């Protein structure tokens, strides 16, 4: 179990996490700020001094080099992804995949062919000489990066017919991202720090929770009613932020309730009912205090 700590609007937010943490509740603004703070931290330079802009892991500023940061969103831009731009999920997958395939013989053959083209065709037919100067053309030596640029990417159905990105439904959009991320997790030596910030019905949420995350960290933003496996995996984000892994937090909430509760197991059942959408008088009382 690890601890993540960050500051949002000068408020300290800390929580324990095993493989994933589900941010559940009605305070969309605070959840947005938590996710934005983490994304900004990964995408900006490290300062030499420790400050409140840092994200902390186990009490120390999180070392961004220890993780590969990824994000799954509902407005996934497939048009940009299929161009294999520098920061796309698909490009990251291809870079890792090509590192793990033995195709040295084929790559050497391509290099020899390009060298032959440079020596026997390009220099004789494309170069321009003017006043003792030469405009020189040549094919670059090919490597993984150049190979990826040569790849065409499209989406096809099981019959291998090409389909438009506009034929993808919402589930397709999320599941394709999940599948790419899962492949990256298998190929990447470093663990992943993954933010999942999109609408998840129970089917999609279960798919997320099945990710073989190893040492990765997965933060999930959802407010969909669903079956609860482990109360400890939840961070309640409403008027206040409560880490349900922390038993001190659980007992504090129990003491605040205006109804009698026998023990912490019964209280966890109330929380489970709240997240599952099984409203009763005790769930309504819980909603009034969180």
Question: Using 50, 70 and 90 to split pLDDT, how confident is the model at 195?
Answer: very high
Report d(CA 11, CA 13) in Å as an integer.
6
Highest mean pLDDT: which range of 13-27, 75-89, 111-125: 13-27
Report d(CA 99, CA 273) in Å as an integer.
47
Which tokens belong to 149?
Answer: 């640029």
Report d(CA 19, CA 245) in Å as an integer.
13
Task: Give tens-digit pLDDT for 5-31.
Answer: 999 998 999 999 999 999 999 999 999
Q: How many Cα atoms occupy the beta-carbon half-sphere of 29 within 13 Å? A: 3
Which tokens belong to 80?
Answer: 């940009």
For the whole model, what pTM was predicted?
0.85
Output Rg (C-alpha) for the chain, integer angstroms: 25
Task: Give tens-digit pLDDT for 217-260.
Answer: 999 999 999 999 999 999 999 999 999 999 999 999 999 988 88
Helix (H) or strand (E) holding 135: strand 133-135
Question: Using 50, 70 and 90 to split pLDDT, how confident is the model at 50?
Answer: low
Which tokens belong to 120?
Answer: 């026997």
Highest mean pLDDT: which range of 24-38, 49-63, 81-95: 24-38
**What pLDDT score was predicted for residue 33?**
96
Report d(CA 3, CA 26) in Å as an integer.
23
| DSSP code per residue over 41-64 | HHHSPPPSS--TTS-EETTEE--G
Report d(CA 191, CA 64) in Å as an integer.
11
Question: Using 50, 70 and 90 to split pLDDT, how confident is the model at 172?
Answer: very high
The domain ranges of the chain are: 2-76+190-245, 99-149
Which tokens belong to 115?
Answer: 């060298």
The sign of the torsion formed by the CA atoms of 220, 223, 229, 234 equals: positive
Q: How much is the average pLDDT of 194-211? A: 94
Torsion angles phi and psi, residue 57, rounded to 5: -125, 120
The 10 Å CB-count burial string (b at 16+, else e) for 260-281 is ebeeeeebbbbbbbbbeeeeee
């Amino acid at each position: 179990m690890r601890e993540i700590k960050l500051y949002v609007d000068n408020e300290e937010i800390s929580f324990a996490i095993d493989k994933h943490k589900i941010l559940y509740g009605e305070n969309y603004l605070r959840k947005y700020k938590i996710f934005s703070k983490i994304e900004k931290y990964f995408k900006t330079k490290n300062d030499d001094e420790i400050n409140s802009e840092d994200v902390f892991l186990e009490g120390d500023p999180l070392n961004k080099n220890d993780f590969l940061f990824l994000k799954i969103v509902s407005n996934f831009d497939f048009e940009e992804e299929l161009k294999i731009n520098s920061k796309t999920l698909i490009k990251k997958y291809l870079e890792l995949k090509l590192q793990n395939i033995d195709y040295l013989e084929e790559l050497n053959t391509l290099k020899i062919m390009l060298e032959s083209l440079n020596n026997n065709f390009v220099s004789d037919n494309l170069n321009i000489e003017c006043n003792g100067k030469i405009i020189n053309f040549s094919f670059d030596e090919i490597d993984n990066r150049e190979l990826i640029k040569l790849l065409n990417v499209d989406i096809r159905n099981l019959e291998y017919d090409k389909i438009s990105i506009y034929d993808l439904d919402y589930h397709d959009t999320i599941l394709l991202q999940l599948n790419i991320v899962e492949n990256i997790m298998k190929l990447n030596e470093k663990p992943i720090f993954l933010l999942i910030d999109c609408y998840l019905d129970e089917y999609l949420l279960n798919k997320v929770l099945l990710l073989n995350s190893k040492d990765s960290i997965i933060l999930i933003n959802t407010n969909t009613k669903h079956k609860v496996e482990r109360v400890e995996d939840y961070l309640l984000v409403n008027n206040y932020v409560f880490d349900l892994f922390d038993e001190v937090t659980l007992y504090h909430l129990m003491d605040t309730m205006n109804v009698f509760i026998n023990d912490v197991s019964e209280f966890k059942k109330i929380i489970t009912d709240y997240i599952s959408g099984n409203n009763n008088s005790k769930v309504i009382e819980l909603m009034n205090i969180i």
